[in-house]
Structure 1
Amino acid sequence: MPLFKEVILNETAVLYLWKITEDIEWFKGAAQLNLASQKRVDSMKSESHQKGFLAVRMLLQHLGYTDFDLEYDANGKPHLKDGKCLSISHSHEFSAIAVSSNPIGIDLEQMKQKTLKIASRFMDVSHLDNLSEAEKIQKATVIWGIKESVFKIKSKEGISFLNHIFENEFNLEDKKTIAQLRLNSEIENFKIVFNSVEDYIYVCAFQS
């Protein structure tokens, strides 16, 4: 299907979601790819990953860009040639991009029991106290997304989700919080917004 949803995040940033219902041949016929991207798609063994990658290109085309306007730096971080900041995420049935005038990181995750099972590896599990099982899964998914979206902005080697990225306490209905990256005696603050779409969570980080 075409663009599934557009979310205005703030005065300079917009999130775009594509729900993947098309078959792989449709994507291959519709997406404009540069040579490097074509080789990357051809090397992917998973059709789901191919679709996710190509759906991102369709979102760019929806905004008037093509794959030729997209570059990756040495850390694998995407950039648009016109200077706009870009972040990309894909999870199962959805692909997402966020475009902003300022640095931004996004993460899109399907809510799964597995995220809760591994929560102690990336977060302070006391933040899940006094919640129902469904709420624990949702909040753990949000917190994973917070860590991932902050990491996407910084892209520094050695960052530990558990030991270096911390979120302020929040309630699920808040739809926002603050996060900190504490690394090498430096503290950096990030504004966080999050929400759900179907059984997925999207999280966006903005450097304060």
Structure 2
Amino acid sequence: MPLFKTIVANSQTTVKIWKIDESYDDLMNPLTLKPDTLNRVLGMKSELHQRGFLSVRHLLREFGYTDADLFYDENGKPHLKDGRQISITHSFNFSAVIVSDIVVGIDIEKQRDKISIIAHKFIDYEFNYLNENDTEYIKKLTAIWCVKESLYKLFATPGLSFKNCFLVIPFSLSDTETVAWIDYKKQKHRYTIHFLEFEGFTCAYAIA
């Protein structure tokens, strides 16, 4: 069982990260899936996506849940039947789940040069402190994306602009946390976001 890492963020919040080493069959065989979940998996064209999706169900088991305990609202936000808060992410061969008594969001992304091509779509203020010649430029872009994505999942308000509504203050990759703001309908919401790097990936998680 490749449970890669467990992070106890606080007494109410735990993050679990899975490294997806198994085949599709090895991931599928131990699971009992709801009919609509099974149909969703079978309808996926990419085996990589299927394995990521199934690994999340294994992470649920690590928390003591089954697929039957998970459901999604009309906006695609996941929920647990017992009322605890959950957020889910997967990217290539890693997946992660955060479960808490508090509203949370999580994101994992692979660090890839191509993120620089779309940086202008999700960054505005942050360009003031970023330097394209910095050897850590791609890692910082990826961290900013993860921070904003984790906040987007936490705030759960469709239509929020990463570029216009989210602001990440200057940070160092060695800090492991940063402060970010959501500016929405003339109200500003402040959050401390935690992040970490491993094997060419970045993960960030936000707790309300």
| Structure 2, unpaired ranges of 5+ | none
Give TM-score scaled by structure 2 length: 0.95
Whether the 8 Å CA contact 1:17–1:95 is kept in 2: the answer is yes
- Quote the residue 1:173 is aligned against: 174
Work out the CA distance in 2 between the residues paired with 1:114 and 1:94: 19
1:119/1:125 contact within 8 Å kept: no
- 3-state SS of 1:174 partner: coil
The residue number in structure 2 matching 1:194 is 195
Aligned to 1:15: 15
Q: List 4+ stretches of structure 1 deviating above 3 A.
A: none
| Correspondence for 1:127 among 106, 126, 129 | 129
Aligned to 1:52: 52
CA distance in 1, matches of 2:133, 2:142: 14
What's the C-alpha RMSD, in Å, of the aligned pairs? 1.3
CA apart distance, 1:116: 2.1
- Cα distance in 1 for residues equivalent to 2:193 and 2:43: 34
Give the aligned length.
206
Distance of 2:78 and 2:117 partners within structure 1: 31
Match of 2:158? 157
Q: Do the aligned residues in 1 keep the contact of 2:32 with 2:67 (CA within 8 Å)?
A: yes
Residue in structure 2 matched with residue 30 of structure 1 by the alignment: 30
Residues 1:81 and 2:56 are matched in the alignment? no
Instruction: Give the 3-state SS of the residue equivalent to 1:33 in structure 2.
Output: coil
Q: Distance in 1 between matches of 2:129 and 2:106?
A: 22
TM-score, length-scaled by structure 1: 0.95
CA–CA distance in structure 2, aligned partners of residues 99 and 160 of structure 1: 25
Contact 1:44 1:50 in 2 (8 A): yes
CA separation in 2, counterparts of 1:136 and 1:190?
23
After TM superposition, give the deviation of residue 63 of structure 1 in Å: 1.8
Q: Deviation per CA, 1:146-190: give whole Å up to 9, x if none.
A: 110110012212210000011111111111111111011111111
Matches of 2:133 and 2:171, distance apart in 1: 12
Gaps in structure 1 of 5+ consecutive residues: none
Separation in structure 1 between the aligned mates of residue 16 and residue 158 of structure 2, nearest angstrom:
28
Contact 1:6-1:14 within 8 A present in 2 as well: yes
* Greater helix proportion: 1
The question of 1:183 aligning with 2:181 is answered no
Instruction: Give, in angstroms, the shift of residue 129 of structure 1.
Output: 2.3
Contact 2:75 2:158 in 1 (8 A): no
TM-fit CA distance, 1:95: 0.9
Partner in structure 2 of residue 115 of structure 1? 115
Q: Residue 22 of structure 1: CA displacement?
A: 0.7
- Matched letter for residue 89 of structure 2: S
**1:187 maps to amino acid:** K
> What residue identity is the alignment partner of 2:127?
V
Alpha-carbon shift at residue 131 of structure 1 (Å) = 5.8
